[in-house]
Amino acid sequence: MAVTGRIHSFQSMGAVDGPGLRYVVFFQGCPLRCAFCHNPDTWEMTGGAEYTVEQVLERVLRCRGYLKKGGVTATGGEPLAQGEFVEELFRQLRREGIHTALDTSGAVPLDRAERVLEQTDLVLADLKFTTEEEYRRYTGGSLSHTLEFLELCRKKGIPLWIRHVVIPGLTDTEENIQKLGKLLEPYPNVERVELLPFRTLCLEKYRTLGIPFPLEGTPEMDLNRTRELEKLLSSARK
């Protein structure tokens, strides 16, 4: 039987989710509830629309001309919540010579992740908080799961791009950024670390969905300060 998955949406020319221009597949469904989530409309497993792997592949191949130096990124939601589908999609993309990137929190059972990683060229891992207490409080998941996932990527030698959202009053201290640098020390496969400034563009989505925004009232993160913290992080990692 054909493998099917639930997809929230597609973006045909993504420029920020991996190297080069990318075809981005937003998977529906996420086990976490991050306080700063920009895509609350991807949370429910029942939303989106059903596709077969072949249907998604067909859409991607229509754009293959510009994917030569880029590729396909699976994001969400949480793509690993539909691991079987992503594994099969990535396998077929690789057969076509297309680069595969997985954007994930890593906060999922490892046996599910392992098979997908066999077909993955690059992992974009969101390391959301640097302490177990904050991770649990603001995402509902566990930092230990993400760290176990990073360890699995290290063992498999898969390059990692790490992302961390800088939130005023929560993750914008030098202490937190140094902690992030420390947490990443054991992973020589980390190629880049991006600090993303907290934004409130998603507020309207929360209002439309009737979901309270947990960080309502938190100001947007200053871009210059974010770049300063990025410099601090890169000098701590040298």
Among 14, 48, 77, 197, binds ligand SF4 (CB under 6 A): 77
* DSSP SS3 for 108: coil
Q: Does residue 89 bind ligand SF4 (CB under 6 A)?
A: no
Q: Does residue 200 bind ligand SF4 (CB under 6 A)?
A: no
Given the rule CB under 6 A, which of 15-23, 37-45, 92-100, 111-119 is the region that contacts ligand SF4? 37-45
Exposed/middle/buried for 40, CB within 10 Å: 0-12, 13-18, 19+? middle
Q: Does residue 34 bind ligand SF4 (CB under 6 A)?
A: yes
Q: Does residue 17 bind ligand SF4 (CB under 6 A)?
A: no
Q: What is the nearest approach in angstroms of ligand SF4 to the Cβ of residue 62?
A: 26
Which of positions 90-129 make contact with ligand SF4 (CB under 6 A)? 105
End-to-end Cα spacing for the chain? 50
State the Cα–Cα distance between residues 9 and 28, nearest whole angstrom: 8
Query: Does residue 123 come out as left (phi exceeding 0), alpha (psi in the -120 to 50 range) or beta?
Result: beta
Q: What is the nearest approach in angstroms of ligand SF4 to the Cβ of residue 128?
A: 7
State the Cα–Cα distance between residues 37 and 35, nearest whole angstrom: 6
* DSSP SS3 for 47: coil
The nearer residue to ligand SF4, 6 or 98, going by C-beta atoms, is 6
Residue ranges that bind ligand SF4, judged by CB under 6 A: 30, 32-34, 37, 39, 42, 76-78, 105
